[in-house]
Structure 1
Amino acid sequence: MSDTNAKPDARAIVSLLVLSAIVGLNTVDRNMFGLLLPQIKQDIAISDAALGFLIGPAFMIVYSVAGLPIAWLADRSNRRNIVVAGLALWSGVTMLTGFAQTLAHLLVARIALGVAEASNMAPTSAIIGDLFRGGYRVIAMAVFAAGGPIAIMVFFPLIGAVAAKGEWRSAYFMMGAIGIGVALAALLVVREAPREVPAADLPELIPAGLFAVAFRMLRSPSFGLLCAAGTMISISLGAMTAWLPSFMQRVHGLDPRGTGLLLGMYRGGFGVVATLAAGLIVTLLMRRDQRWLAWSPMLLTLGLIPAQLLLLLADGPTGWHIGLALDSILMSAITPCLLALLVTLLDSRVRATGAALYLLIFNLVGQSIGPLAVGTLNDGVFVASGSHAIRTSMLIAPAALAVGAGLLAALSVRQSRELAH
């Protein structure tokens, strides 16, 4: 049996940093569409409902469905190669998005991006889960998750500056080229992590096929509660990520450059600190009581509800700035906690498959519903409110969090009972 308290070596740390950079590009390349949405809408006539579909279901359905077979393959082959090939592919798609001229072009680009980006989260989480054990796993997941806000901090202001000049297409060309360069570097630096159980032994240990394995996981009450809670958090995250740039421009009158700078500072700068701090704090708390692994995401989700209400409903700049800061901090802090809890609940033999199943539910339901619901409500129920319709529509975000917090509370109780025995 491997030593769960063994310190990671230098190769593991370097691989983690590169994988963190890759997930950062994954985050920016999918979410830059929301940042550039006002400029895209000016160039290509599209309704809010159609934009919500492009941001949500058009990307998330294929992203979620493709992730499961890719992860199943990753559990049986070289995960590093899958991650690097996926990065190269989605970077190429990102560059091609800059040539889009119609709604149909954007639809094809979002679908292709979804398939390619599905190669990242589950195999990468599995690699990190094998590279880092015990308390080091939470810290590693925090560093990994920090890649997203770091990339937003670095690239959103740059993308916003490019968009302010009317060059939203150039932003896509730029990000695609950067991704291809990182893919080449990752091929040289990252190595496949040794599994706790060799991949060659998997057919004997788990004779069932992909769907049988998935069904067995869903029969686990703890895994089911985590998936349901994650879905609610995902609805909130999807709605806020997709429509916050438009909210800031429509309701508070910011321009693309100002929006990019503000989101880069809050979502990026605050997000990095919050992600790393959460990993460190939860690791220290777990040394006192292992139940903090389940308690922490529940408490963070509860704190997010008033933060989002303040962000969406405050009229004065002081109020909504505080709300944006708190929302950025708490949402970023949740990510490593949920990932660490996920990989802890999963059998190491099917860790990538289990992570992909969680992400399938998290994204297919949550991040499809969130953006689409806001766009549809903007064009329908609240259309009479004009530019302020988006403020009311986005209230589905804190409402979803309230349900998620209840589900995480139930999971916390269950985990506490299991640890007590």
Structure 2
Amino acid sequence: MQSNAIEAKAGHLIGYGSASYRHYVLLLLMLVYTLNFIDRTLIAVVAQPIIESFRLTDAQWGLLYGPPFAIFYAVMGLPIALWADRSNRVHIISLCIVLWSIMTALCGVAVGFFTLLMFRIGVAVGEAGCTPPANSLIGDYFIARKRATALGVYSMGVTLGSVLANVFGGPIAEMQGADVGNWLSGLGFHWLFGGLDWANVEGWRIAFVVVGLPGVLVAMLVWITIKEPPRGYSDPPSQSADRAPDWSETFAELKRKPSFWWMTIAASLVAFVGYGLISFQAPFLQREHGLSVRDAALQFGAPLSLLAAAGTFLGGYITERATERFPTAMAWVPAIGIALAVPAYAAAFFSEDLDTVFVLWGIGAVFHYSYLGAQYNIGQGVVSNRSRATAIAVLLILVSLIGNGIGPYFVGFMSDLFMQQQLLALDPSTWLSPEACKTASVARSGGEEVLCRTANSTGLKYSMAATASIFLIASACFIICARTLKQDFVAQLGSARA
């Protein structure tokens, strides 16, 4: 008993559990976050087939991808986070994994725009319970000076999830339903799907089911193997964790931390650009460069996501190394990174050679995602240990509403606007519009089809380049955040080994 008490008092020096167990927990939480983003971003990988199946304009697709998901993610994020600040965080994460996994699988049976929208909302509700409690757990498992790297590793789940969504989603989406039916019959499962006409089952539907269901197994692994640590275990003894704060106390604490709000604005703007670009990445490659769903996923989606994951890790690693000499490095590293991403992205969108497009897009992705660990490190670092989950939830509410809620729709809206301008520029007398170009019931000549395709591709290219420029505003916000970060941070930044 005495040794346990001594160990608890030394928690701020070593962290919770053995080093190997801490790393296991971190990797499992990264797997959960990876799964979170596989299920969240799969819809972007199979975007063009869905657009064609439901005959959507870019603005309609942006609406489907963004606002409803973001609103429910935000609305549910805060109550779940408040629950996590008072209850068993491991159990909350496990239950939420089950919910979003089942809802992802159900997206595969959507019969139209509305039903797909409803299942996407279900995914949002489940995924709202992932990151706030996971960040809180990491804060209790790792000491203050190790959290930048730990959160950088955890944040790699964003980009690794995108890799796996592309690796699995792209090829599966191109599968023929009849082939899948024959394969299942060969395994002896024909009785389970006896009434299903596989010839009419589209590949993107199969992708949702195959990718979604394995999450239930991950939820069981989390429930069984991760221990719930004492609150504030890895913080200095002076930081009391004897009770859960009222939500008003957390907001009062955040109100006194200007660095939190400037970081939140910056992170929201980065998410605005990021969600906007990723929601149209596959359609851009298919329209502008003629790639198939599979090729866009495997040749661009997966490797670019790996480069983004490398950027996330490098951002956390560089921040940890630099903080000893430059205490506000966790704000300056993302500020520099996202500013450098702008010219790389813009050049990629307007390049015609595919190899050049990949290299420039990859450079942009590395710089872009260097920010990701910083938002969590600052978000939980400026509040007391008992308020971490709630603080991260506040951050994610704004990131979700501004980033995922507006970003995809903005890119789609601007794409349709630029498309209309291109239609008139190419043929001032044309009667065509974005809606007329994409409506199956409207008769169009061969020349008009070519005009539609050209304007559709060019409009999206201009829209994505314009959206990427918003990174410059986000960079300025990170720089302003750095001005008060040192005084707002709970643990001492710089050379101190807190």
TM-score > 0.5 by shorter chain: yes
Q: Which residue identity is paired with 2:473?
A: V
Q: Which residue identity is paired with 2:294?
A: R
In the alignment, structure 2 segments of 5+ residues that lack a partner are 1-8, 176-201, 234-238, 424-454
Q: Per the alignment, in what secondary structure is the counterpart of residue 479 of structure 2? A: helix
- Alignment of structure 1 residues 87-102 onto 2, 5 Å: 87-102=97-112
Count of aligned pairs:
416
- 1:297/1:338 contact within 8 Å kept: no
- Alignment of structure 1 residues 380-399 onto 2, 5 Å: 380-383=417-420, 384=423, 385-399=455-469
Matching residue of 1:122: 132
Mean Cα deviation higher: 99-108 or 408-417: 408-417
> CA shift at 1:293, angstroms?
1.9
Matching residue of 2:390: 353
2:294 pairs, out of 236, 251, 257, with 257
CA–CA separation in structure 1 for the residues paired with 2:400 and 2:51: 24
> CA shift at 1:214, angstroms?
2.9
- Alignment of structure 1 residues 30-41 onto 2, 5 Å: 30-41=40-51
CA–CA separation in structure 2 for the residues paired with 1:37 and 1:317: 21
1:181 pairs, out of 209, 217, 231, with 217
- 2:333/2:370 contact within 8 Å kept: no
- Alignment of structure 1 residues 21-420 onto 2, 5 Å: 21-165=31-175, 166-196=202-232, 201-203=242-244, 206=245, 208=246, 210=247, 213-214=250-251, 216-383=253-420, 384=423, 385-415=455-485
> CA shift at 1:219, angstroms?
4.5
**Residues 36-75 of structure 1: per-residue CA shift (max 9 Å, x gap):** 1111122222222221111110101110121011001100
Q: Which residue identity is paired with 1:239?
A: G
In the alignment, structure 1 segments of 5+ residues that lack a partner are none
Q: Which residue identity is paired with 2:485?
A: Q
Q: Per the alignment, in what secondary structure is the counterpart of residue 87 of structure 2? A: coil
> CA shift at 1:320, angstroms?
1.8
Q: Which residue identity is paired with 1:394?
A: M
Q: Which residue identity is paired with 1:6?
A: I
Q: Which residue identity is paired with 1:368?
A: G
Q: Which residue identity is paired with 1:415?
A: L
Q: Per the alignment, in what secondary structure is the counterpart of residue 254 of structure 1? A: coil
- 1:308/1:397 contact within 8 Å kept: no
Q: Which residue identity is paired with 1:330?
A: F
CA–CA separation in structure 2 for the residues paired with 1:168 and 1:361: 30
User: What's the TM-score once normalised by structure 2's chain length?
Assistant: 0.79
Which has the higher relative contact order, 1 or 2, with Cα contacts under 8 A spaced 6 or more apart?
Answer: 1
> CA shift at 1:371, angstroms?
0.2
> CA shift at 1:356, angstroms?
0.3
- 1:266/1:324 contact within 8 Å kept: no
Q: Per the alignment, in what secondary structure is the counterpart of residue 202 of structure 1? A: coil
CA–CA separation in structure 1 for the residues paired with 2:477 and 2:24: 36
1:13 pairs, out of 20, 23, 27, with 23
CA–CA separation in structure 2 for the residues paired with 1:90 and 1:256: 24
Mean Cα deviation higher: 148-157 or 179-188: 148-157
Mean Cα deviation higher: 391-400 or 138-147: 391-400
Matching residue of 2:441: none
> CA shift at 1:215, angstroms?
5.4
CA–CA separation in structure 2 for the residues paired with 1:336 and 1:175: 26
- 1:87/1:116 contact within 8 Å kept: yes
Cα distance change of structure 1 residues 416 and 184 upon mapping to structure 2, 3 Å threshold: closer
CA–CA separation in structure 1 for the residues paired with 2:65 and 2:331: 31
Cα distance change of structure 1 residues 227 and 247 upon mapping to structure 2, 3 Å threshold: same
**Residues 199-225 of structure 1: per-residue CA shift (max 9 Å, x gap):** 98335xx3x4x3563354245211111
CA–CA separation in structure 2 for the residues paired with 1:16 and 1:286: 22
> CA shift at 1:296, angstroms?
1.0
CA–CA separation in structure 1 for the residues paired with 2:418 and 2:162: 32
> CA shift at 1:160, angstroms?
0.4
> CA shift at 1:358, angstroms?
0.5
Q: Per the alignment, in what secondary structure is the counterpart of residue 76 of structure 1? A: coil
Cα distance change of structure 1 residues 178 and 345 upon mapping to structure 2, 3 Å threshold: same
Residue identity over aligned pairs, in percent, reads 26
- 1:266/1:328 contact within 8 Å kept: no
CA–CA separation in structure 2 for the residues paired with 1:2 and 1:252: 58
CA–CA separation in structure 1 for the residues paired with 2:164 and 2:120: 23
User: What's the TM-score once normalised by structure 1's chain length?
Assistant: 0.93
Q: Per the alignment, in what secondary structure is the counterpart of residue 214 of structure 2? A: helix
Q: Which residue identity is paired with 2:467?
A: A
CA–CA separation in structure 2 for the residues paired with 1:291 and 1:364: 27
Q: Which residue identity is paired with 1:380?
A: L
CA–CA separation in structure 2 for the residues paired with 1:403 and 1:6: 39
- 2:45/2:165 contact within 8 Å kept: no
Cα distance change of structure 1 residues 200 and 318 upon mapping to structure 2, 3 Å threshold: closer
Mean Cα deviation higher: 41-50 or 351-360: 41-50
The structure having more radius of gyration, on CA atoms, is 2
CA–CA separation in structure 1 for the residues paired with 2:248 and 2:345: 37
Q: Per the alignment, in what secondary structure is the counterpart of residue 324 of structure 2? A: helix
How well do the aligned residues superpose, as a CA RMSD in angstroms? 2.2
